[in-house]
């Protein structure tokens, strides 16, 4: 079983935006993976990007540069 720790969760308004972020992060070598949106968070899409909290600014900058709109940035223990 994986140890629970503080994680960055990025939600999106659409599944298309979530998938675009997965592609972008893969191309840029940014950490993380797609997960279902945790129950603690309400979002318009059922997919979210989970990564280490330390990568928040690098991921935010990459999403903004690629014009991929995030619905929200959260930090949860998962």
Contact (CB, 8 A) for 75 and 40? no
Question: Domain total for the chain?
Answer: 1
The pLDDT value given to residue 42: 77
Q: What predicted TM-score, i.e. pTM, was given to this entire model?
A: 0.93
* Alpha-carbon torsion angle 43, 47, 52, 56, nearest 10: -60
User: Which domain CATH number covers 63?
Assistant: 3.30.70
The pLDDT value given to residue 43: 55
The pLDDT value given to residue 39: 86
The pLDDT value given to residue 29: 98
Would 31 be classed as within a structural domain? yes
The pLDDT value given to residue 74: 97
Would 53 be classed as within a structural domain? yes
Would 65 be classed as within a structural domain? yes
The pLDDT value given to residue 44: 57
Would 1 be classed as within a structural domain? no
Domain span including residue 55: 6-77
The pLDDT value given to residue 61: 98
Would 18 be classed as within a structural domain? yes
Q: List pLDDT tens digits, range 26-75.
A: 999 999 999 999 988 875 569 999 999 999 999 999 999 999 999 999 99
């Amino acid at each position: 079983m994986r140890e629970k720790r503080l994680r960055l969760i990025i939600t999106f308004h659409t599944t298309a935006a979530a998938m675009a972020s997965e592609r972008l992060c893969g191309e840029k070598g940014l950490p993380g993976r797609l997960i279902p949106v945790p129950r603690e968070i309400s979002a318009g899409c059922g997919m979210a990007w989970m990564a280490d909290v330390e990568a928040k600014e690098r991921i935010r900058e990459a999403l903004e540069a690629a014009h991929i709109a995030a619905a929200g940035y959260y930090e949860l223990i998962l």
